[in-house]
Every structure is written in C-alpha cells, then in structure tokens.
Amino acid sequence: MAVLYGLSKYNLKKYITKDEFIKIIDDLGIEDVTGEIIYNEFLLTKDNVVTHLKSNDDYIWTVETNENRLSLKPFIHINSGKIMTNRELLDRSMNTWISYLLNGGSIYVKNPQDKLLKAFQLRNEQLGERLVELLRNILRVNYNSTFDEIEVPNSMIWGKREINYGDFDLMFYSEEAKELFLIEAKYICDSLNAAGMVSDYDKMFRDKGYHFKCRRRYELVINEPEALKKFIGIDGEINVHFLFVTSKPLDIELQDKDDIVTFISLETFESYISGKYESEDGKGFVRPTYKI
C-alpha cells in the first residue's frame, strides 16, 4: 500500500522500463521494500495470467479469479518488455488492499505462507472474534446471564461422536427468561464484485458448508436435549433460539425451509431479541423459539 500510494504521487509515463520502474520504487525509500521485490511479486505477465484463459481463447474473460489480477497487481508487463500502469489502476488497487485490511476477506489463497497474507488472514479471524464479542455484549445488556460461553465444543456436551460436530460460537442462557441463545456467527467481508458475493453464499450454503454444519449441531440439540440441559444446569422446559448471525445482511429468506434456523445480521440482532424485528410481509414480528 505504501508503494501504491507513493507511485500515485508520481507523474508516471504510460510505459516505463524495468530499470525505471525499480529505480522509482527504490527512491520511495520504504523500509524492507525494494523495486526488485515489487517487480518479481506484483507484476502481471503472460505466464502468470495464463490460468485465467478458458480453453483456447485469446482473451481473459474470467474476471477477478485469483491473485494475478489488476485490482491487486496494477503493473502490466507488455510484449515490448516495458511496464504499463496509470493513476486509475493504482487508485483501484489501493482501494482493494485497503478494503481487505479494514473489512477482511481472503485475498487469494486459503493457507497463505508469506507474512503479508498471514497478516490478512489474522485480520479475518480478529473480525470474526469481534462479531461474537458484539453479539455477547448485546445479550448481556438485555439479559441476566446464567451461562455465557464462547466456542463451546459439542464433545463437552454429548461426548465424542463419529463425526465432528464442531462448536457453538456463542451459548448464552438466562434462567430468569428461560431462554437459550445458540449462535453461529460468521463475519462476511466486503464483496467488491459479483464473484465475491457469490463466493460468500457458496461457502455458507454449498454441500457441507457453514449452514449444513450449523444445522447439524442444532438438530443434535433437538434430538438429545437432556445432555445440553444437564451441561448448562437447566431444569424444566426452556425456549431455544437457533441463530445464524452474520456481520452484514444476507439476501435470503429469514429462516430455512422448516423454520428451525433463523438468519439475522448484527445490525438487526438487538431488534430481534427485543421482539421488534418485523416479518418480511410487515404483518408481525419475528422471534421464533423452539421448546426443549
């Protein structure tokens, strides 16, 4: 980002040689950054965009597919050997990197090895933890808690099973209200394009995705409630909220097909728990619970 910012202040020629490119970056004087590093790691070449081509097509039409794209690497190596860039490309790339830094998102690999991408992955994890913290704080303001824990492994409740049920991101119980909130919380990064939005929904709803695993945990509660009640220390009948909470609203119906899991976002969470969250038809309020 420091390089992009520095270069945007230059009145760059449309085409520059490798030596000119490296010298300009070296002259920026950014600690631990050299023109040679930027040239080797952030240049778009024919070789590193070949995976973008479909079949024998001569043109790239699969947009924003991986790390080798203009929104991340705004330096194009053309046939003459010179490098092409401009202020618009630099600004676009700067905006993309800043959004990833502030709002999260997987830049291009699932298991990054270099320090830069590890830092962005850590940022995603921090934002996910922050989402759970905010949800927990809202519940604490509205209820007196009897049980209030995060990342509770299912194995602690039902013992070891053949399949790994994972954990509850947040379990919050109020004896006073006789209500238990079971929450799957997912931080969703800013989607800068249609492909990013599709990717978010794919991760949630594809076969054995986030919703599948969340729903499987909730069905365990429905089928074997006594173990959960014993773990928390509950006597008698209670109302359970089976929630899937995201950091931003989803363009889907409020509940899954049999109304077990309810999908809400952080911004609507408080209105939901206070009973003021309107149904889609505007004829009532949504606050579904399941008795166990």
Give dist(CA 168, CA 156) in Å, integer.
11
37, 126 in Cβ contact below 8 A?
A: no
Give pLDDT tens digits along the chain (292 positions). 899 988 888 878 888 999 999 999 999 999 989 999 999 989 999 888 877 777 777 766 665 556 778 888 899 999 899 999 988 889 988 988 888 777 776 665 556 566 777 777 788 888 889 999 999 999 999 999 999 999 998 888 998 888 888 899 999 999 999 999 999 998 887 655 566 667 777 777 777 888 888 888 999 999 999 999 999 999 899 999 999 998 887 777 787 777 788 888 898 898 888 877 776 666 667 767 788 8
Q: Phi/psi at 169 (nearest 5 deg)? A: -60, -40
Give dist(CA 288, CA 11) in Å, integer.
60
User: Against a cut of 0.85, is the pTM above it?
Assistant: no
Walk me through the domains of the chain, giving residue ranges and CATH numbers: 16-103 (no CATH), 124-291 (3.40.91)
